[in-house]
Amino acid sequence: MYFVPDFIINDQKKGEIMTEVLEYVSNIGFPIVLSLFLITRIESKLEVLSESIKELSVVIQNMK
């Protein structure tokens, strides 16, 4: 996209540009936000899982 001064763009064109920008945000922004949310949720669960595996390893070593 390129810069065009406001006085050149008429109101209809401004509406089209705004619609295009909102479309990009909805198409690209939502997946990014969702991905970040899921990564943070998975990260905390992976930490818990990792700790459980360490504890299980200690228990198995004590059984031998």
Residues 6+ apart with CB under 8 A from 62: none
The whole-chain average pLDDT of the chain stands at 80
| Residue tagged 């818990």 (tokens) | 48
For residue 34, pLDDT over 80 is answered with yes
Q: With a threshold of 0.85, does the pTM exceed it?
A: no
**7-30 burial, b for 16+ CB within 10 Å, e for fewer?**
eeeeeeeeeeeeeeeeeeeeeeee
